Chain A
Amino acid sequence: MAIPIQRVTFDRTLLLVMPAALFMMLLFIYPFLYGLLLSLNPPEGDWLDNYQKFFTTDNLWPTIWTTLRLAVPVTLINVGLALPIAFKMRVHTRYQRWITTILVVPVSLGTVLIAEGMLTYFGPKGWLVQTIQFLHLYEGSIRLTHNFWGVLISLVISGFPFCFLLILSYITGIDPALARAAATLGAGRADQFRQIYLPLLAPGLAICFCLAFVQSFSVFPSAVLLGAPAGPTRVISIAAYEAAFEQYDYSLASAIAMIMGFVQLLIVAAVLGLRNLFYRGPAMGGKG
């Protein structure tokens, strides 16, 4: 009896992807292409004029560094803080739920609300500065708002819960039997973390870093409200905003947005490239 040959046919369930694909087209690809074309069509001059202008104007191109100087430390602090805390929270304890809730609450606050609160509490007459001075912990003048530190703190407050939740979910996905097995083989706590948890977490940490970085690189409201938008925290999104809504040069604003996207893409690509050096598979040690 002849065995019927199975032919690979078009799987019609693939059509279910269509609505999402359409959504992406409308909300992401179309605005992106629109912005790209707009940026290449300056009101006057050559098609690359906007980009030339960005990299030759003294209050435009340094915004890349200003933003990176803010976004990279913020991302490192968020990931670096979230990792040990999430690691501690991986085992179920009586307090785990409470601590997790408290840590996650800021995610529900808007950036503007955080800025408002910080202006009150971290300002020159706020309770934090007053307490420090009352206790004579630090005698010099303390400024935590309307400068670099204000923006940094607010980005940590709003970005930390996000990193924490993401890393917590990665950590709880690692089979605890692996650490126990390592322990029976002679690995102390430090070795269990270094040899088992860290390598298995590395790909997740890379993803977390990328998301947190993109989030803080596009900082806008807190840079205006808590920073010094004319100087030290004149981030790239402020430059784009000024071009669009103060000079009404949509074409230049689009070019700045494109450059902003490109820098983000560069960093993300570099981090994801590093991620490929690590094992990326199920974090389980055998048959479940």
Chain B
Amino acid sequence: MNNDFKELRLDGVTRRFNAGGKASFNAVSGLTLTIKQGEFIALLGPSGCGKSTALNLIAGLLPLSEGGIWLDDERIDALPPEKRGFGMVFQNYALFPHMSVMRNIDFGLRMRRTPAAEIATRVANVLKLVQLVGQENKLPGQLSGGQQQRVAIARAIVIEPPLVLMDEPLSNLDAKLRLETRSEIRRIHRELGSTTIYVTHDQEEAMSLADRILVMIDGVVQQIATPEEIYSQPANLAVASFMGYRNMLELAVERQDGERVTLAGPDVRITGTRKLPLTNGHACIAMRPEEMVVGDGPDGANTFSVHIDGVEYCGRDSLLDVTTGAGFRMHVRTNQRFAAGETVRVHVPVERVLVYPPA
């Protein structure tokens, strides 16, 4: 397997599973993506969306039902995992419990019949990189979760694979360690320049690490874009919902003026930006709680009164559970202090209201 390739191409990658009897469902359907060398791609989606299946398909741990995987001009989807030579970091680490840290890390090199002297230098280098010098002779069971995770990363990158696959590598770590290991992963990726596909359900993790994010829901790719674009311009209602646009209202369309759409309900009138063509007279708006502002908007635009039902204290700010007079439930994030039972005026900037066809 050559290390300097130009791109990895997934072409209509599909995986079907039997769902009992003759029924089947697509865990991954029609995944098409081109990854350039050195890129960091995050596969983001809710649990059960097929992102781990996609990773296993790329690694060769599952056969494809349809489609192809190409490394430059070489088709690799029929190769077994040991012939693809991609490094993989498993969710539960999958360290060999009977081998020392050293033996775990040099396993891939031993399988490649690398000369002993080269193994020694490469393992020494990677131990330094993941900061595990001095732990070589311990068994995985004697390490902490964070150290185990770093052994798993070291084991995958020491073989200098063309592609590193990571399957929710941080999900078993506590919050502090997760942040630290996240920075480690970013540092290692920067130092080695290795092409990485990283599976996660955590949008913050995906945004902080990836060059590009692929959002997958129910086995179908919803959007492939930069973190910034995914965050501020979700391609559809499902992505918006997953990316934290918690306030969703279905309203009647009152006026359309190019991309600008005004929708009206019994006691709200909201103008937003249309993301997809609208067909029938209804549309769904999506707004983030943190982009709602307490107080009247300029010229009273997009402003309405809400009743505070509950206050969730979050430290730096609070999350208000509110309802409009007609009973629309919404969430507003604010750093002002309010108490349940109060009535306040809130508004939301026109460009931060996204309008989609109803689901």
Residue ID in chain A nearest B171 by CB atoms: A287
Chain A facing B: main interface SS? loop
- Collect the chain B residues with CB atoms within 8 Å of residue A178's CB: 94, 96-97
Tell whether A196 pairs with B96 under 8 Å between CB atoms, given A184-B86, A185-B155: yes
Other-chain residue from B81, B90, B156 in contact with A285 (beta carbon distance below 8 A): B90
Tell whether A288 pairs with B92 under 8 Å between CB atoms, given A184-B61, A185-B107, A279-B97: yes
A179-217 contacts to B, CB under 8 A, are 180-188, 191, 195-196, 199-200
Residue ID in chain B nearest A280 by CB atoms: B98
Q: How far is the CA of A278 from the CA of B99 in the complex (A)?
A: 11
Q: Are B139 and A279 in contact (CB under 8 A)?
A: yes
- Collect the chain A residues with CB atoms within 8 Å of residue B59's CB: 184
Q: Are A285 and B98 in contact (CB under 8 A)?
A: no
Tell whether A286 pairs with B95 under 8 Å between CB atoms, given A177-B90, A184-B82: yes
* Residue A25, interface by CB 8 Å: no
Residue ID in chain A nearest B111 by CB atoms: A186
* Residue A119, interface by CB 8 Å: no
> How many whole Å from A94's CB to the nearest CB in chain B?
11
- Collect the chain B residues with CB atoms within 8 Å of residue A49's CB: none
Q: Are A286 and B92 in contact (CB under 8 A)?
A: yes
Q: Are B111 and A177 in contact (CB under 8 A)?
A: no
* Residue B80, interface by CB 8 Å: yes
Q: How far is the CA of A281 from the CA of B111 in the complex (A)?
A: 24
- Collect the chain B residues with CB atoms within 8 Å of residue A191's CB: 111
Q: How far is the CA of A287 from the CA of B152 in the complex (A)?
A: 12
- Collect the chain B residues with CB atoms within 8 Å of residue A286's CB: 90, 92-95, 140, 145, 148, 152, 172
Tell whether A285 pairs with B145 under 8 Å between CB atoms, given A181-B88, A185-B107: no
Q: Are B82 and A285 in contact (CB under 8 A)?
A: no
Q: How far is the CA of A287 from the CA of B91 in the complex (A)?
A: 9
Q: How far is the CA of A199 from the CA of B94 in the complex (A)?
A: 16
Tell whether A285 pairs with B61 under 8 Å between CB atoms, given A185-B159, A186-B85: no
- Collect the chain B residues with CB atoms within 8 Å of residue A187's CB: 82, 107, 111
A146-200 contacts to B, CB under 8 A, are 175, 177-178, 180-188, 191, 195-196, 199-200
- Collect the chain B residues with CB atoms within 8 Å of residue A183's CB: 60-61, 80-82
Tell whether A200 pairs with B82 under 8 Å between CB atoms, given A185-B107, A286-B93, A287-B92: no
Q: How far is the CA of A195 from the CA of B96 in the complex (A)?
A: 9
- Collect the chain A residues with CB atoms within 8 Å of residue B156's CB: 184-185
Q: Are B140 and A285 in contact (CB under 8 A)?
A: yes
* Residue B141, interface by CB 8 Å: yes
* Residue B108, interface by CB 8 Å: yes
Q: How far is the CA of A200 from the CA of B99 in the complex (A)?
A: 10
- Collect the chain A residues with CB atoms within 8 Å of residue B97's CB: 178, 200, 279, 281-285
Other-chain residue from B98, B112, B141, B152 in contact with A186 (beta carbon distance below 8 A): B112
> How many whole Å from A246's CB to the nearest CB in chain B?
52
Other-chain residue from A175, A182, A278, A283 in contact with B107 (beta carbon distance below 8 A): A182
Centre residue among B82, B86, B145 by max chain A CB count within 10 A: B82
Q: How far is the CA of A22 from the CA of B107 in the complex (A)?
A: 50
Q: How far is the CA of A285 from the CA of B90 in the complex (A)?
A: 10
* Residue B87, interface by CB 8 Å: yes
Tell whether A287 pairs with B61 under 8 Å between CB atoms, given A184-B88, A185-B107: no
Q: Are A177 and B98 in contact (CB under 8 A)?
A: no
Other-chain residue from A182, A185, A199 in contact with B98 (beta carbon distance below 8 A): A199
Residue ID in chain B nearest A184 by CB atoms: B88
- Collect the chain B residues with CB atoms within 8 Å of residue A281's CB: 97-98, 139, 141
> How many whole Å from A21's CB to the nearest CB in chain B?
32
> How many whole Å from B7's CB to the nearest CB in chain A?
21
Q: Are B94 and A177 in contact (CB under 8 A)?
A: yes
> How many whole Å from A227's CB to the nearest CB in chain B?
42
Centre residue among B90, B155, B159 by max chain A CB count within 10 A: B90
Q: How far is the CA of A287 from the CA of B94 in the complex (A)?
A: 9
Other-chain residue from B60, B93, B159 in contact with A287 (beta carbon distance below 8 A): B93
What are some 8 contacts across the A-B interface (CB < 8 A)? A184-B86, A184-B87, A187-B107, A279-B98, A285-B90, A285-B96, A286-B90, A287-B92
Which B positions have Cβ atoms within 8 angstroms of A? 59-61, 80-82, 84-88, 90, 92-98, 107-108, 111-112, 139-141, 145, 148, 152, 155-156, 159, 165, 172
Please list the 4 inter-chain residue pairs (A to B) with the smallest Cβ-Cβ separation, ordered nearest first: A286-B93, A279-B98, A185-B108, A186-B111
Given A285-B96, A288-B92: 16 more A-B contacts, CB < 8 Å:
A180-B90, A181-B90, A181-B96, A182-B96, A184-B61, A185-B82, A185-B108, A185-B156, A186-B112, A195-B107, A200-B98, A279-B139, A281-B141, A284-B97, A286-B148, A287-B92
